Structure 1
Amino acid sequence: MGRMSAQERREGVIRAAIAEFARTGYHGTSTAAIADRVGVTQPYLFRLFPDKKTIFVSALLRSMEDTRLAFERAADGLEGGERAFQAMTSAYAQLISTRPETLLMQMQGYVAVAAAEAQGDDLIGEVVRAGWMRIWETVHLSLGADADRTTTFFACGMLGNTRTAVGLPASTGK
């Protein structure tokens, strides 16, 4: 196999960063751990990304977009009703059970917002809010722009998130 391009390396770093930040958060994760996981040196890591915060934001954006795309794909072609709701619910349960780091990365992002904003840094908060609104809009439109159904969907999702975060199955199996 040939050498990887810088873009392929960036992708590898983002995926490695999601795995590392999901486990230990922004402050608990070293750039050395990310570089080791992806198999590059730290100096090379910093040729791809200017700093740790940029890596974190890139990982956060990717995990949020992965979630949004899972919803979009699941609801594609379904007419904004119960079928779309169930398809997106199943897709999300599948995503967080097979790739829990996607959810955990987003949760780390929520924690990082409070810490960063307490220090006067709004970037992470802006990224999280914009990403969350893209997810909300995708689900909302997929459910026929029904605010009550969208709220119910996210309430059920939060229950699944909490169950997953504490080590229980995402679903009660009903």
Structure 2
Amino acid sequence: MPVEERRELVLDAAVAAFAEGGYAGTTTDQVARRAGVSQPYVVRMFGTKQALFLAAHARVMGRITDEFAAAAVPGAGEENLRRIGGAYARLISDRDVLRVMQHGFTLGADPELGPAMRESLLGIVRQIRELSGADIERTRDFLAQGMLINTLVALQLAEYSADDPEAEALCTLVLEPKGLLGNRLLGQVDER
């Protein structure tokens, strides 16, 4: 197998492993086993677990920004918020994307990983503003609603909400296509 294909295989395995165990709970050996290569090979390829995580996180964030760019239509302005929201909803149906992104964002205080994690979030902010023309307040609201959706999806709250009226109401409001917050995330609510 060519080196670049093997690198992609290792990165796929790293995304899956870090999604499951987070940064602290994942070893390069676990990634190697998932990829079907040796642990020393992973270390030779990436250097450190930290570098491997950065590469896995960058892959996930790159997938997000690529999907946002593909969803947007030049000159569509705030209509692109709806398009970006739809692309994001499809992306986070892959729980590995959601989990790796969130694991990364918990590392903001880490002196080595924090700068890259902060920059990845700010890259999303800049892209949303550029694609939609939204001001910083509208971008904040869009992201805040997205983060609530992230939390509900990560907690699998919808799957466990049948016995709790508040959980069911929240999930319906946020996650259902006609839910007010879900529609705001998709840019479909007239704020007047």
TM-score by length of 2: 0.79
- Specify whether residues 166 and 72 from structure 1 end up closer, same or farther in structure 2 by C-alpha distance, changes over 3 A only: same
Mapped pair 1:153 → 2:142: yes
Q: Which runs of 5+ in 1 are unaligned?
A: 117-121
Q: Which has the higher contact order (CA 8 A, sep 6+)?
A: 1
Task: Give the aligned residue type for 1:109.
Answer: G
Equivalent pair of 2:129/2:139 in contact (CA under 8 Å): yes
- Specify whether residues 136 and 159 from structure 1 end up closer, same or farther in structure 2 by C-alpha distance, changes over 3 A only: same
The Cα of 1:72 is off from its aligned counterpart by: 1.4
Instruction: Name the structure 1 match of 2:131.
Output: 142
Instruction: Name the structure 2 match of 1:119.
Output: none
- Cα deviations across residues 95-122 of structure 1 (Å, max 9, x unaligned)? 001x1111110111122333x3xxxxx2
Instruction: Name the structure where helix makes up a greater proportion of residues.
Output: 1
**Bigger mean CA deviation after superposition, 6-15 or 84-93:** 6-15
TM-score by length of 1: 0.86
Q: CA RMSD in A?
A: 1.6
Structure 1 runs, 4 residues or longer, greater than 3 Å off? none
Counterparts of 1:7-22 in structure 2 under 5 Å?
Answer: 7-22=4-19
Identity of aligned residues (%): 37
Q: Which runs of 5+ in 2 are unaligned?
A: 159-173, 179-192
For 1:6 and 1:47, locate their aligned partners in 2 and report how far apart those are by CA, in whole Å. 12
The Cα of 1:171 is off from its aligned counterpart by: 2.0
Instruction: Name the structure 1 match of 2:116.
Output: 127
Counterparts of 1:93-112 in structure 2 under 5 Å?
Answer: 93-97=89-93, 99-112=94-107
For 1:144 and 1:27, locate their aligned partners in 2 and report how far apart those are by CA, in whole Å. 38
Instruction: Name the structure 2 match of 1:79.
Output: 76
Equivalent pair of 1:13/1:35 in contact (CA under 8 Å): yes
Mapped pair 1:165 → 2:161: no
The Cα of 1:78 is off from its aligned counterpart by: 5.0
Equivalent pair of 1:12/1:38 in contact (CA under 8 Å): yes
- Specify whether residues 89 and 78 from structure 1 end up closer, same or farther in structure 2 by C-alpha distance, changes over 3 A only: farther
The Cα of 1:67 is off from its aligned counterpart by: 1.3
